[in-house]
Amino acid sequence: FQANSVWYPVAMLASMAVGRPSVPLNTRDPGSRTNEIVAAARLSAILGDGNVRPDGLSQEVHWIDVTTSVTPQAQPTPQSCSVSVDAPAMVLYTSGSTGRPKGIVNSQRSLLWRVQQYVDACHINSDDVFLPLTGPATIAGCREVLAALLTGATLHLLEVEAVGLRAVRGRVKSEGVTITYLVPALLRALLADEPADAFRSLRVARIGGEKVSWTDIALLRKAVSKACLIQIGYSSTETTGAQWFLPRDWPEQGASVPVGWLLPGITFAIVDEEGRPVQPGKSGELLIRSRYV
């Protein structure tokens, strides 16, 4: 139960180190959703930042305040434990847009697979400066944090709702942010009246989470330098999907931007109610196959 602060990656990595699956909770979710997830996941303890125990949380769930649990005295080195990369590492709950929220189990292997694809595609390195503009309790937020930490990049975290759009623009400019992830709705709000040079330091702007329009691309290109790469990504909590870097000369067709090319290690199929492939241009059910699902 962590906001976008330093305690979130600390809690995430600590859970992985001791082989205990973690369930990120969004501090801005309604209490009813938080308690529903706590019950469904059968959580026995929650790592929180301060005395902010959610209303209605069962007294059987142990609350650990990480800010008061840290001691300045030297402690013995914890005994290391062997954890399989295929064991459950993190359970992320979906938004519930298609029904009740579902808990999706991710192993360390599947998380690292996402990170590796991201790092390889964008050549992420220790010179980069990250400012992910997404919630920590999402697969995108986990990917951004791990990509920065595992490459030695600089990671900045903030709560967009708490600090406001002006502060976000100021942080991007003052810290020389080179990589950011954002959804189109936030992109529109941020760039509505941005200073001319606020986003000039970006070398990669990754957009995903919802349909991307050509109007969004035009708005973004006015704000970034010509050298900035615009990466479109399509994925889900369950697995990665498609991505590409949008060429400047790509012809506009339709209202939305294509989601790109399928990533390695994954197979898609769109089928009808009888499980048969649908014809181009028709709607159907999306099936995904991958060893990382």
**Could you tell me the residue ranges of all domains in the chain?**
1-83, 108-263
- Cβ-based neighbours of 40, under 8 Å, separated by 6 or more: 93, 101, 103
Count Cα neighbours of 51 within 13 Å in the Cβ-side half-sphere.
1
What pLDDT score was predicted for residue 78?
67
What pLDDT score was predicted for residue 74?
59
What pLDDT score was predicted for residue 235?
86
Closest CA to 187 of 226, 228, 134, 229: 134
What pLDDT score was predicted for residue 75?
66
What pLDDT score was predicted for residue 292?
81
- For residues 238 and 236, what is the distance between their CA atoms, to the nearest angstrom? 5
- For residues 214 and 203, what is the distance between their CA atoms, to the nearest angstrom? 20
- For residues 150 and 135, what is the distance between their CA atoms, to the nearest angstrom? 19
What pLDDT score was predicted for residue 281?
86
What pLDDT score was predicted for residue 243?
94
Q: One digit per residue, pLDDT tens: the chain, 293 residues?
A: 888 888 899 999 999 998 999 999 998 888 888 999 999 999 999 998 888 888 889 999 999 998 887 666 656 666 767 889 999 999 999 877 666 789 999 999 999 999 999 999 999 999 999 999 998 899 999 999 999 999 999 999 999 999 999 999 999 999 999 999 999 999 999 998 767 789 999 999 999 999 999 999 999 999 999 999 999 998 888 888 899 999 999 999 988 999 999 898 888 899 999 999 999 889 999 888 888 87
Q: Which CATH class for the 108-263 domain?
A: alpha beta
